[in-house]
Amino acid sequence: MMLAAQFKNRFLLQPGLPPQSELLPIEQATHVKQSAVLVPIIDYGDRLSVLFTQRCWHLTHHPGQISFPGGKLEHAETPAAAALRETEEEIGVTANRIQLLGQLGSHHTLTGFQISPWVGLLPAGTPIIADPAEVSAVFEVPLTFFLDPRNCHELWLPLRGQARQLHFMPFENKLIWGATAAIMAQLLQHIR
């Protein structure tokens, strides 16, 4: 079992956190859509859970998929600010309720997005109010579930002329896969 203090220490003491310059706005590239997500970790004191959203089916991008709160950067917005703004818009959690711990490495998708994942701790009991226009469900998965390697799977697939690694993590009746699972795998590697 991992408690919040252990999680923070493992996260903060690992190499690879971005320099302060990463907190500045990312220049918008014309061919890459810059986006940011928050990986929300809920601190229950005696255990940690990871909070996920399920996107609405009517959305243009990634309908119905399991994701973290997030979206595209607005003009001159930092990745951290975008992750916090999108979290408030999608699930109603304000920035003052989130303790940002740091950023994981960017994840590039085949659909042309560069995702900057930020990890943040939320206190237990934080009110969650999902925006029904974007989020069809919100659910939690115990962090211990992901720490068991039997629950994290990967395979290599030929996509667009090259081999791509696909992560997937089935949990109850949900399938966490794609960019969300790749970000989770990166987080797990970072804290192990």
pLDDT in tens, 12-46: 655 444 433 333 344 444 567 889 999 999 999 99
Mapping DSSP onto H, E and C, the string for the chain reads CCCHHHHHHHHHCCCCCCCHHHHCCCCCCCCCEEEEEEEEEEECCCCEEEEEEEECCCCCCCCCCEECCEEECCCCCCHHHHHHHHHHHHHCCCHHHCEEEEECCCEECCCCEEEEEEEEEEECCCCCCCCCCCEEEEEEEEHHHHHCHHHCEEEEEEECCEEEEEEEEEECCEEEEHHHHHHHHHHHHHHC
Cα–Cα distances (Å) from 156 to 6, 7, 22, 34, in that order, read 32, 30, 30, 25
110 lies in some domain:
yes
70 lies in some domain:
yes
54 lies in some domain:
yes
Asked if residue 49 has pLDDT above 90, the reply is yes
pLDDT in tens, 135-188: 999 999 999 999 999 999 998 888 777 788 889 999 999 999 999 999 999 999
**pTM for this structure?**
0.86
Give the model's pLDDT for residue 31: 67
Spatial distance between the Cα atoms of 168 and 184, rounded to a whole number of angstroms:
10
Q: How many other CB atoms are found less than 10 A from the CB of residue 87?
A: 28
77 lies in some domain:
yes
Buried b (16+ CB within 10 A) or exposed e, 30-40: eeebbbbbbbb
CATH number reported for the structural domain that contains residue 67 in this entry:
3.90.79.10
Domain count, the chain: 1
Measured in Å, how far apart are the chain's first and last C-alpha atoms?
A: 12
Domain that holds residue 177: 45-191
Cα–Cα distances (Å) from 26 to 20, 89, 118, in that order, read 13, 21, 14
135 lies in some domain:
yes
73 lies in some domain:
yes
Give the model's pLDDT for residue 19: 37
30 lies in some domain:
no
129 lies in some domain:
yes
